[in-house]
């Protein structure tokens, strides 16, 4: 038993349909949906199939708007300045689609950014002639290093800065409010990639005052996969171009972003049940439990590998453990190692390359137990030895 971890979590495991033979230590990848939320979504699917015309034709936009108000309020965002989207990557793509980029313009990201976002930026730059500038940062940068690195990379041609609130491959908490404030005098818009924020840490989107903020609710807020929010500042709302033009185009933002005809809206409509589940368990209690357990897992695995791990932010439920040099140093190698850990050890983890070195990322959620991290710590060195 870990000090500070509530003993009742063993019973909570029964609220999920995860395979008991697998230690699922990778909640940060795709989340895990509680049974209560699965059932709520299934009832909505049954409603669709009972009368599809009625479901899509009578009051659906109002139901989506009601859900958006519920989720936005939880995140401290303005419901009328937010739109539901399928995931953070779609939120980023929507913002990129709304920029009038020209040859020589620049988009700034950091070395800690998510791979799919990097690919999206590179694609829009290739199409428009804009330039992608990547800010190099240490594995465990200080807040001052993050702010200085980004601000020094900004030029008179910078049209957008994308910064992670919680970085995906490196599990760092970045000072996004400071970045936004530092760039405000230069009138450079900031897009906050908050894929891992909703549910994991407290957030007040309005107070951040970024031009754009987008985060998933299907990771740490128990929502069905395909549920995310894109918040947009007042000066940008009229300029948002949806990725799909639909019958709600004349309505403008946010309805023109949300409505995509026969999209499966049941994930969004079931999301309030997810927040109810989270609140029932106790939002702060869950956060404290997850952060404590993630720290325990990081220490156990790092010690087993004979090394130290970067100190993570106290409130994060994701931690990283650097792997031995030369292991999983690229995407292909990281994918192979992750699969071997899953197949041979029965443990799901994330493995990401960073500067030619692999990083093992561990997550913690209410269904996890300390013994699962201990099992990984005991068996991972033997697996790695076979790769030497």
With residue 62 as reference, give the H or E element that holds it. Answer: helix 60-75
Q: Is residue 246 a part of any domain in this protein?
A: yes
Query: Quick one: pLDDT band at residue 313, thresholds 50, 70, 90?
Result: confident
Decide which of 10 and 167 is more confident: 167
Please report whether residue 39 resides in a domain.
no
CATH number of the domain that residue 223 is part of: 3.40.640.10
At residue 182, the pLDDT reads 98
Mean pLDDT of the chain: 95
User: Quick check: is 44 in a domain?
Assistant: no
Q: What pLDDT, in 10s, does the model give residues 364-383?
A: 999 999 999 999 999 999 99
User: What is the domain extent for residue 381?
Assistant: 9-32+282-385
pLDDT at 9 over 80: no
- Please count the other Cβ atoms lying within 10 Å of the Cβ belonging to residue 249: 13
**Coil, helix or strand at residue 287:** helix
Q: Which one has a higher pLDDT value, 12 or 344? A: 344
**127 and 229 fall within a common domain:** yes
CATH value at residue 369: 3.90.1150.10
CA dist 86 and 274 (Å) reads 16
Q: Is the pTM of this model over 0.85?
A: yes
Q: For residues 309 and 254, state if they share a domain.
A: no
Domain count, the chain: 2
Do residues 293 and 168 both lie within one domain? no
Render pLDDT for 11-42 as a digit per residue (tens, 0 to 9). 888 899 999 999 999 999 999 999 999 999 99
Do residues 134 and 255 both lie within one domain?
yes
Q: What is the pLDDT of residues 172-183, one digit of tens each?
A: 999 999 999 999
> CA angle at residue 236 from 235 to 238, to 5 degrees?
100
Residue 127 domain-assigned (yes or no): yes
**DSSP-assigned letter for residue 313:** P
**Domain C-terminal end among 276, 304, 319:** 276
- 8 has a pLDDT exceeding 90: no
Question: Does 260 map to a domain?
Answer: yes
CB count in 10 Å sphere of residue 180: 20
- Pair 20, 89 in one domain: no
Average pLDDT score over residue span 313-342: 93
DSSP symbol at 312: P
* pLDDT tops 90 at residue 79: yes
């Amino acid at each position: 038993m870990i000090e500070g971890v509530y003993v009742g979590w063993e019973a909570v495991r029964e609220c999920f349909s995860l395979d008991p033979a697998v230690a699922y230590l990778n909640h940060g990848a795709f989340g895990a949906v509680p049974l209560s939320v699965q059932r709520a979504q299934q009832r909505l699917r049954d409603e669709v199939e009972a009368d599809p015309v009625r479901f899509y034709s009578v009051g659906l936009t109002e139901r989506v708007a009601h859900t958006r108000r519920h989720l936005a309020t939880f995140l401290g965002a303005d419901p009328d300045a937010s739109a539901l989207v399928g995931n953070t990557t779609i939120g980023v793509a929507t913002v990129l689609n709304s920029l009038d980029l020209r040859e020589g313009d620049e988009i700034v990201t950091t070395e800690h950014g998510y791979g799919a976002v990097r690919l999206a930026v590179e694609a829009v730059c290739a199409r428009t002639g804009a330039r992608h500038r990547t800010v190099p940062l240490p594995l465990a940068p200080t807040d001052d290093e993050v702010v200085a690195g980004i601000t020094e990379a900004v030029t008179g041609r910078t049209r957008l800065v994308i910064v992670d609130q919680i970085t995906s491959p490196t599990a760092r908490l970045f000072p996004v409010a400071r970045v936004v404030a530092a760039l405000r005098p230069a009138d450079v818009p900031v897009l906050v990639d908050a894929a891992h924020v909703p549910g994991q840490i407290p957030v007040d989107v309005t107070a951040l005052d970024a031009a754009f903020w987008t985060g998933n609710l299907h990771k740490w807020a128990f929502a069905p996969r395909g549920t995310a929010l894109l918040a947009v500042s007042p000066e940008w709302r009229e300029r948002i171009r949806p990725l799909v033009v639909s019958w709600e185009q004349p309505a403008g933002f946010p309805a023109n972003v949300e409505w995509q005809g026969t999209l499966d809206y049941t994930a969004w409509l079931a999301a309030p049940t997810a927040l109810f589940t989270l609140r029932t368990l106790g939002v702060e209690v869950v956060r404290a439990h997850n952060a404590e357990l993630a720290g325990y897992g990081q220490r156990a695995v790092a010690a087993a590998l004979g090394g130290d791990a970067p100190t993570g932010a106290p409130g994060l439920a994701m931690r990283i453990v650097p792997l031995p040099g030369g292991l999983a140093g690229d995407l292909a190698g990281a994918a192979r190692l992750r699969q071997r850990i899953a197949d041979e050890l029965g443990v799901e983890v994330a493995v990401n390359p960073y500067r030619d070195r692999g990083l093992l990322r561990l997550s913690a959620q209410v269904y996890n137990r300390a013994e699962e991290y201990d099992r990984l710590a005991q068996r991972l060195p033997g697996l790695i030895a076979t790769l030497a």
